[in-house]
Amino acid sequence: MYIPVNNSLEDYSGLEHIGIGIPIFSLGKNDEAKGALNFNSNNSNILSFSDKGDFIATEQLSISLWFKALGDGTLVQQGSTCPTTGMNSSFRVSIENGYIYAKGNFDDLTTGVDASHHISKSENPIALDGSWHHLAVNFDAGEITIYLDSNQVSTSTSKYANGQSSSSPSQIMINSLAPVYLGAGHSYCNNSVGNIDLFNGAIDELRVYKRVLSTSELIELASNTMPNAITIMKFSGNILDSSLSGNDASGTPVFLENRFNNSMCSVSFSDNTIDNVLQISDNTDYERNNSFSMTFYFRASSNGTLIQQGSTCPTTGMNSSFRVSIENGYIYAKGNFDDQDPNIDASHHISKSENPIVLDGSWHHLAVNFDAGEITIYLDSNQVSTSTSKYTNGQSSSSPSQIMINSLAPIYLGAGHSYCNNSVGNVNLFSGAIDDLYIYTSTLTISQIELNSNLPNRCEIENPTTRFTSITPLNAILNQLTTFTVFGENMTDTTAFWIGDCEGMVALSGGTATERRFQCTPQHTTGIKDGTVKNESGGSIQFPFSVAIDSQPSTVSFTSVTPLNAILNQLTTFTVFGENMTDTTAFWIGDCEGMVALSGGTATERRFQCTPQHTTGIKDGIVKNESGGSIQFPFSISIATNQSYSKPLSTYPDRGGFIGFGHITNRSYHVGSDYRSTVGTEVYAICAGTVFKANTDFSGFGGYNPTLSGGAIIINHSCGNRNFYAIYGHLNPSVNIGDTIQGGQMIGTITDYIDAGRHWPHLHLGIYTGNTFPSSGWGYSDNVSNWHDPEIFLPFMDSGMPGVSIGDNSIGKENQCAVVDLETFEIQLPCVQIHTSTYALNLKFIPNDPPYTFGINTSSLELLSETQSFPEYCSYFPFNQREQLHINCLKTIPNNGQVFWADLDVIHGDDIQLKLLDLGIKY
């Protein structure tokens, strides 16, 4: 029995001990998500596992598990106890007053000789502090030995028969066909059944053996267990990720039998077509690891690429993040590594099997470890590669990089992928099949590889059982069309629904496996009407029910309408909330054209759509029970112009670690901010405007190294009283030059961006307030005049920078300010305590000579706790508490005197400390 707890209760031993209960998952012993079972002394999450008869009448048994304890309780127990009758569980491992106890029930199966109850106890108590420990217990012919973190902690076994100490104990362990309980003991005593001795803590990696563990096994188990997989593809009739990490595949799979000859349980590929190549989306799980590994089963009838992340291009030297392929019968594993030193190029590492395999369609298990630059290949649990070749710039390298580059690029199954000379497509097509793909963020030991290669048949294709659970509503009005909803599991389109005297029964479209809707009109008489649900018309009744038919309709009431504001000329959805509403509900707003009632309304919620037109201001609205009826609910809404901005991305302003406005590189200043995204993500206009430029061949917008052309859109926005340009870079436009755009309108989708073989899809957003948009320098420029940080400009574009001031609104007024030394241009200001989490720092320097451009040097601001954003002309990077924050503020100041001071505008928030360390002036 082996329960690794990788997001499930599945038994990896192949003996199918079925887990029963509602698990609460928590971080595992290696901090892997959903890697352990959490228990909190609560009956609701106690688990049990069915006994398959594996442990009956055995002299030897052993238990291995990881645990962390916050209190006493039973960790694992088989069977039930009853002190009043002397009934003991088959075995139990528990913590009592901090001591670890292991108890077993033994019998030599001799008639007339009672069973013996054996107990072992740790010499010392453990600290119940929530630390992880490995626990193992050996039951060996009546002797019980406890090991904690591979060290023996018990010295003797106490043995009892009929409650008395026994000098001749029994040696055969009694293991009845009873469940194994996890997180509590179990009692069956005096006709009372229930869980007892509930455990407070967590358990990981439970194993039960029908033998004792050796010293070497104890050491290995205490130090080496199966890591948590970030991708698990069972291919059980689908291409979903079973690890719950969300790395689902896309494509058109062709399913075939697996190695157990179960149909629809592996994915098949052909070197004659790209139609069934699969693609797994990357959601950052694979980024920049020193080590990771993958395992899967395959059968091959040709050469080709089995799995690859990213794209290749031989002419530019671009390499995929990783690739596993068969070439001339040899298995190759390749990886792209980088130590993140900007002065050292990435290294390309290759490992190859010593001998070729026979491409005869036989199933094999393949494992590949990528470990700090070393790549090792295992075929059927045997290492088949001996060394890793390493190259930098095409030359053999003696000091290769060790950090694997895993960009935000898809993973391809059944083929490689090329992005070369503006040509994109799949290459090196594979013929064969793949099953049970696992990807881990650490390497595997040989014992772990052997365990993975012996996985049981995990294909779950079967005819699911249909179950019906409830019907709603269970009352209706005579002669009134009513929608009834059936809830259940695994329902299909053949589901049949019937209610007596309910005429015109129809099944509504859009049903799912858990919810089906039907409509009919109760007629003839009121009272209780019987109904039935069947799997199919003419089948047997699966779910009988009754509905009460009433002649008096319930009172209709309206309680609220939302939203109560809208944008002129923008289609808006309004929702009416109330009780007992019907499809006849009528809705009206003055000057709101094209009013329609949306489908899917309920008795408590109805939706309507229209477009506010003509004028802004307050518009009256009404809700009625029916068209032509009396007013039941008057209301008013406010119509405004499209002054506020819409988010360009659903995740805005989260940059995901990408560079912000003003970042300085050898390409000068970054005149925008980059927002991490994925290929295909929709981009929206921040407000109304007209498309100034839209194309897909702007130089540098497809990649930097090498320079690749890509898409960008420039819109001349008009938002209230503000006119400005916005450039949206690295996307595929869906609008054309001259198009009129509304705020929130989808204008394009994110495309890939490649830098030195790495894929960095993102949106570049820049704001420009000059009269004429520049002809170049849209991404990086030496001239930052009229360019603004979007995260500062957009939230305040309607009313400027709001906020309240501290004291006299300054840190150093003119009469308090030191005169700047125009030779060194340095100044020191004291530490200031302010109350804010978002603030604006406005620095003014006014020299006597012609205008200067000034900038705060990097590392010039030290913040002692977190903040959120900075004002116009400033860029910032995310930082951790008590770390230096790099800021660049640039502004040209007119000639108007020789005084320096700093104004600090406070918006709102928590206490922080700001200390201006130095200021540098740049000619």
542-570 confidence digits (pLDDT tens): 888 989 888 766 678 898 888 877 778 88
Dig out the tokens for 196 from the structure.
Answer: 């007892």
- Of residues 192 and 187, which shows the higher confidence score? 187
How far is 453 from 259, CA to CA, in rounded Å?
12
Q: Check residue 460 and give its pLDDT.
A: 55
Whether 251 shows a pLDDT value over 60: the answer reads yes
Q: How confident is the model at residue 901 (pLDDT cuts 50, 70, 90)?
A: very low
Span 730-783, pLDDT tens digits: 999 999 999 988 777 889 999 999 888 888 899 999 999 888 999 988 988 887
What is the 8-class DSSP label of residue 555? P
Residues 6+ apart with CB under 8 A from 800: none
- Check: CB of residue 562 under 8 Å from CB of residue 577: yes
Angle ∠(330,377,760) on CA atoms, nearest 5: 95
**Contacts of residue 215, Cβ cutoff 8 Å, sequence gap at least 6:** none
Calpha distance 79→82 (Å, rounded): 11
Handedness of CA 686, 689, 691, 692 (dihedral sign): negative
**In terms of Cα–Cα distance, which of 392, 25, 462, 456 is closest to 228?**
25
Structure-block tokens of residue 292:
């990771």
Q: Which of helix, strand or coil describes residue 206? A: strand
pLDDT reported for residue 17: 74
Evaluate if residue 334 carries a pLDDT over 70.
yes
Query: Is pLDDT of 920 > 70?
Result: no
CA distance 691 to 673: 20
Beta carbons within 8 Å of 464's beta carbon, 6+ residues apart: 489, 490
Average pLDDT rounded to a whole number, residues 254-258: 88
pLDDT of residue 196: 83
AA letter at 513: A
**Count of CB atoms situated within 10 Å of the CB of 568:** 17
**Containing H/E element for 616?**
none
Task: Please tell me which residue, 862 or 636, carries the higher pLDDT value.
Answer: 636
Integer CA distances (angstroms), 41 to 103, 200, 256, 273, 295, in order: 21, 5, 46, 56, 38
At residue 669, the pLDDT reads 79
CA distance 648 to 745: 9
Distance CA 333, CA 370 (A): 9
Please tell me the pTM assigned to this model.
0.40
886: how many CB neighbours lie within 10 A of its CB? 18
Q: Which of 785, 791, 790 is nearest to 772 (CA)?
A: 785
The residues pairing with 635 across neighbouring beta strands, listed in sequence order, are 621
How many beta carbons lie within 10 A of that of residue 699, not counting itself? 10
Determine the Cα–Cα distance for residues 518 and 503; give it in Å rounded to an integer: 12
Count of alpha carbons within 13 Å of 160, Cβ hemisphere only? 13
pLDDT at 373 over 60: yes
pLDDT value of position 907: 29
> What SS3 class is residue 292?
strand
Structural tokens at position 381: 């649990």
Contacting residues for 771 by C-beta, under 8 A, at least 6 apart: none
Higher pLDDT: 326 or 830? It is: 326
Amino acid present at 904: L
Bridge partners (DSSP) listed for residue 49? 19, 180
Q: In this structure, are residues 352 and 332 in contact, taking their beta carbons and an 8 Å threshold?
A: yes
- Convert 909-922 into a string of H (helix), E (strand) and C (coil): CCEEEEEECCCEEE
Q: Is it the case that residue 396 has pLDDT exceeding 50?
A: yes
CA distances from 551 to 132, 528, 555, 589, 811 (A): 65, 12, 13, 33, 76
For the chain, the first-to-last Cα distance in angstroms comes to 74
- CA-based angle 870:874:880, to the nearest 5? 55
Contact 516, 494 (CB under 8 A): no
Confidence of residue 712 (pLDDT cuts 50, 70, 90): very high
**Structural tokens at position 745:** 């309108």
Tokens 């005084």 belong to 899
Question: What's residue 349's pLDDT?
Answer: 81
**CA distance to 98, 197, 741, per residue, from 94 (Å):** 9, 9, 68
Identify whether the C-beta of residue 4 lies closer than 8 Å to the C-beta of residue 241: no
Please, are residues 521 and 481 in contact by the beta-carbon 8 Å criterion?
Answer: yes
**Side chain identity at residue 649, one-letter code:** L
pLDDT at position 705, please?
82
The pLDDT value given to residue 311: 80
Report the C-alpha dihedral over residues 731, 734, 739, 744, rounded to 10 degrees.
Answer: -80
Strand partners, 611: 593
Length of the chain, in residues: 923
Single out the residue of 167, 172, 165, 197 nearest to residue 72, CA to CA.
197
How many other CB atoms sit within 10 Å of the CB of residue 808?
9
Tokens of 729: 């870079």
Tell me which of 828 and 313 has the higher pLDDT.
313
| Separation between Cα atoms, residue 440 and residue 396, nearest integer Å | 29
In this structure, of 32-46, 65-79, 621-635, the range with the lowest mean pLDDT score is 32-46
Predicted pLDDT at 171:
59
| pLDDT per position as a tens digit, 118-172 | 888 999 999 888 888 999 999 887 788 999 988 999 977 787 766 666 665 665 5
Mean pLDDT of the chain: 75
844: Cα separation from own chain's centroid: 45
Q: What mean pLDDT do residues 694-711 have?
A: 88
Cis geometry, peptide bond prior to residue 634 (ω within 30 degrees of 0): no
